[in-house]
Amino acid sequence: GQQLNQSPQSMFIQEGEDVSMNCTSSSIFNTWLWYKQDPGEGPVLLIALYKAGELTSNGRLTAQFGITRKDSFLNISASIPSDVGIYFCAGHTNAGKSTFGDGTTLTVKP
Amino acid sequence: ETGVTQTPRHLVMGMTNKKSLKCEQHLGHNAMYWYKQSAKKPLELMFVYSLEERVENNSVPSRFSPECPNSSHLFLHLHTLQPEDSALYLCASSQDLPGQPGNTIYFGEGSWLTVV
């Protein structure tokens, strides 16, 4: 089955720094989604990408759908303490399968 | 508020109890899902329903029994669970099954289950 490699596994950064995380796969996806999960809550959708090469922003967040359709990255600019949480990528295939990455745990030090 | 509501948010049950988790989506979606999230493990897809029919069952033990009476409601019936079943159970929905253009999965807030 499809596997997503999400990296890094965890990040410890200073408030104000920029953050970058990515997901790669050997499989092709036709949709990439990025979620954030706060402790004790369900994942909340941040950005959805539907076309290869697409670059989409949501406030301080920017995500791109890789041109090969096998990868995606998420950038957070000027991080703030409330950015703390676990970030997940998810890929959907034409065959109707969805796969989630293992998550990137972000810690922001004030 | 994502439009997907789960109840209860927290549940403690004994190994001989029978309980149910409930999920309701107010988004007019056709597909609904149950995921399990254990500590320090990735999301595990348990069941997928499309238009009230089960389309995927990922080798889940029979002590977990899903029910989808209509496209807006999804239940997970729990019976004789084990302590290792303690986890966050997430319900989700999407307009159609993954793979359809423009499709996105939306999650509920989760039900924390503790089996004692």
Give the tens place of pLDDT for each residue, B44-71. Answer: 889 999 888 888 767 899 999 999 999 9
Where do the H-state alpha helices sit in B22-94?
none
Percent of chain A residues past pLDDT 70, beyond the cut: 98
CA distance A6 to chain B (A): 11
Report cis status (omega within 30 of 0) of the bond before B98: no
pLDDT at position B78: 97
Closest CA to A81 of A13, A7, A8: A13
The owner of tokens 């953050």 is A19
CA distance A34 to chain B (A): 10
| Predicted confidence band of residue B111 (pLDDT cuts 50, 70, 90) | very high
Closest CA to A108 of A10, A9, A5, A7: A10
Position A81, amino acid:
P
Indicate yes or no: CB of A94 within 8 angstroms of CB of B99: yes
The owner of tokens 């989630």 is A100
- Pairing mode, if any, of strands B106-107 and B44-50? unpaired
Residues on B contacting A at a C-beta cutoff of 8 Å: 2, 4, 6, 42-43, 45, 88, 90, 92, 97-110, 112
Structure tokens at A51: 């076309």
Which residues in chain A are contacts of B102 at CB distance < 8 A?
A: 50
Structure tokens at B29: 């979606």
Strand partners, B50: B31, B53
> For the residues A35-43, what does the mean pLDDT come to?
90
Interface test with B, best of A100, A102, A105 (most B CBs within 10 A): A100
Indicate yes or no: CB of B43 within 8 angstroms of CB of A88: yes
Q: What are the residues whose beta carbons fall under 8 Å from the beta carbon of B103, sequence distance 6 or more?
A: A31, A92, B94, B95, B96, B97
Give the tens place of pLDDT for each residue, A62-107. Answer: 999 999 999 999 999 999 999 999 999 999 887 778 889 999 999 9
Which residues in chain A are contacts of B43 at CB distance < 8 A?
A: 43, 88, 100
Indicate yes or no: CB of B103 within 8 angstroms of CB of A92: yes
Give the tens place of pLDDT for each residue, B6-21. Answer: 999 999 999 999 999 9
Strand partners, A69: none
CA distance B93 to chain A (A): 12
| Mean predicted lDDT score pLDDT of chain A | 93
pLDDT at position A1: 56
